[in-house]
Amino acid sequence: MSATPTFSTQLDKTAVENFREYLRIPSVHPNVNYDDCVAFLRRQAQSLDLPVKVYEHHPGKPIVIITWIGTDPALPSILLNSHMDVVPVFADKWTYPPFSAEMDEKGNIYARGSQDMKCVGIQYIEAIRRLKLNEQRMKRTIHMSFVPDEETGGVLGMESFVTTADFKALNVGFALDEGVASPGENFYIFNGERAIWHVRVNCTGPPGHGSLLLANTAGEKLRVIIDRFMDLRAEQKDKLDRGNYMIGDVISVNLNKVEGGIQTNVIPEKLTAVFDVRLPPSVDHEEFEQTILSWCREAGEGVSIEFEQKNPRIEVTKLDETNPYWLAFKRACDSLNLHLQSGIFPGGTDSRYVRGVGLPAICFSPMNNTPILLHDHDEYLNKDIFLRGIQIYMSIIPEVANV
């Protein structure tokens, strides 16, 4: 049963109510309907007395932009990005219905999207609400973007949006996007991402009766391919286990699908292995592809590769004195005595597309002392952690928007 929450201010109560209302919108894959999200965000823009635009470059894939004009709007703007969609759920594995946003006696709010990442979208809104009430003004214009389909790769969301005239007109100079929770006192920030490669390796060979020992079968070739990928996986896992690296610093390899064959007593003409590979920015992509091709040659004739996804190598955002936005971000965090731990994001976010058009971006979700539950059963965020995140953004946003 939900506990009756206590709040120190009406603003806190409103913030949590807005968060829970947003969480109750089941913007869940597959076949997301974003209408209720758009209507909710329009109401939030109205409550902030800020203009809102909805772009729909692809049918059913709206991009919502709420804008706070700066005192010097000619300066490059600040983009505060979040995504509206969430991943599927297995409702029977949850303590509470996953779109009920129930709050327990500890103040934990259970819902899909509570960490990934409806929390951040509402924290942006509520931080700006308070900054406006304090009559603060920023030099740079701030755009809050709410985009679709991040959880399925962002192809019809941010990936295509950054190539449009509408995005160019936003005049973005720096972006913030999602990070992950931290189980400890520190806060994670990410200035780059691993490139996602989904590699299909097709192995062909002579078909025949299952009682024969034919040479150069697809199965023999597949064995070589799997061994080479798994050897690399073991090497990288050992590197990670030695404790000198974070997961984003190493190559991850997982064999996620094996396809082929028509019947148990028929030697297949073709077998396919599909690998999910994530490459940190330190890896030379051309060299790595040549390594895979050398494994194919080693396996024998009739072995080839194709890519379901092949992200390019994208330069990381610099975290040094050459990046004034980073200096401002860190100054705000230092003023709050936040302990930051930087790294390469292990998965993929929409910030890779922002960096891909040459813009600096930092991934950050102000959630510490919180288990990492994105995409997990019983995803939750504590209301006090959520509310503290608003205060954190109230320091970060003015710093970066006044650079």
Catalytic residues: 85, 150
- The upper half-sphere exposure of residue 345, i.e. CA atoms within 13 Å in the direction of its Cβ, equals 26
Helix/strand/coil (H, E, C) string of the chain?
CCCCCCCCCHHHHHHHHHHHHHHCCCCECCCCCCHHHHHHHHHHHHHHCCCEEEECCCCCCCEEEEEECCCCCCCCEEEEEEECCECCCCHHHCCCCCCCCEECCCCEEECCCCCCCHHHHHHHHHHHHHHHHCCCCCCCCEEEEEECCHHHCCCCCHHHHCCCHHHHHCCEEEEEECCCCCCCCCEEEEEEECEEEEEEEEEECCCEECCCCCCCCHHHHHHHHHHHHHHHHHHHHHHHHCCCCCHHHCCEEEEEEEEECCCCCEECCEEEEEEEEEECCCCCHHHHHHHHHHHHHHHCCCEEEEEEEECCCCCCCCCCCCCHHHHHHHHHHHHCCCCEEEEEECCCCCHHHHHHCCCCEEEECCCCCCCCCCCCCCCEEEHHHHHHHHHHHHHHHHHHHCC
Placement of tokens 């993929």 in the chain:
348
User: Using an 8 Å Cβ cutoff, are 54 and 120 in contact?
Assistant: no
Mark residue 369 as left, alpha or beta (left: phi above 0; alpha: psi -120 to 50; beta: remaining): left
